[in-house]
Copies of this chain bind each other. A is one copy, B any other.
């Protein structure tokens, strides 16, 4: 079978998680997230963000986290702003609109939002009450294009949101990858300070399922659990999520796994750059989008699975390569060998 660079959720989970599931399997635990493991996971996250007053909820997946957060934060007439490649805009089957809220799209080159991108949207939504009220800014870190927010960028965006009475929500499906990118100067603690609400993604970073929603702004905390339950996201066996996040948070396994994924992608990126290959965006995380010619795409396809992302011209396309917590050196080396041979 061909090795797949299609995504970061092709394998099961980190072995430590399976060991912990095995070890705890016959313990009786309380249901619905009241188990000891969920409490322990939340405690570990609060320590890492250095905010004992945050509230944390563990749910199964990213679309679920996004729709619960957004529908919980907004009043019926309020909307969310997202960069055009945003996951909520393109890959969630209208999950946000299904909860009643419009998502305004902003075109950006790198999938990131700056205050200056948002200003015109606010200006063009001033015809009260005939238009939706922008109230929440949705960003991803790392983004859907693999790019990341630097500390200064996030600070500016955070300030802008607060000055304009809007909340800032970070989709952290790949937050580990964003924070461990070699050029990143953000920390988890800083993310918690600068956002009103965010989540730590487990599914794409070594867990079987699981995202940890962290609510930093006390205004958004009351009654959040009701939304979790109403949207079908409250697992009877919450221990499944608690055990996973306990393992991921202990000894910083979460960051080690993400760093590994990034590292493997960077090796491929560097090999490609050495041969003069261009990229759709200049990324430092586990997603890279090299532009290569169709012949090479064909050759690579014989050995690996990946997505052809975007046609560039008649003879070349950008492909998307994603590495994971489990991408072995061998696969990376084999990929690089082919490149070096063919380019």
Residues of A bordering B, CB below 8 Å:
1, 3-4, 6-7, 9-13, 15, 18, 21-22, 24-32, 60-68, 71-72, 75-77, 79, 90-95, 97-103, 105, 127-133, 203-204, 208-209, 223, 225-237, 239-240, 326
Contact = CB atoms under 8 A, between A and B. Distances in A.
B24 A21 contact: no
Given A95-B230, A98-B100, A229-B129, A18 B12 contact: no
20 contacts: A10-B29, A12-B25, A15-B25, A21-B21, A21-B208, A61-B235, A65-B232, A77-B94, A77-B223, A79-B94, A91-B130, A92-B232, A94-B100, A98-B100, A129-B223, A129-B226, A129-B234, A203-B236, A231-B231, A232-B233
Contacts of A21: 12, 18, 21, 208
B130 A229 contact: yes
Nearest to A24: B12
- Top 10 A-B residue pairs of the complex, sorted by shortest distance between their CB atoms: A64-B232, A77-B226, A12-B25, A129-B225, A10-B28, A94-B132, A93-B230, A97-B102, A94-B102, A9-B236
Interface of A is mostly: loop
Nearest to A232: B64
Given A18-B22, A60-B60, A129-B226, A9 B231 contact: no
A228 B63 CA distance: 11
Contact of A76 (B66, B98, B127): B98
A225 B3 CA distance: 27
Contacts of A100: 94, 97-100
Nearest to A230: B93
A61 B232 contact: yes
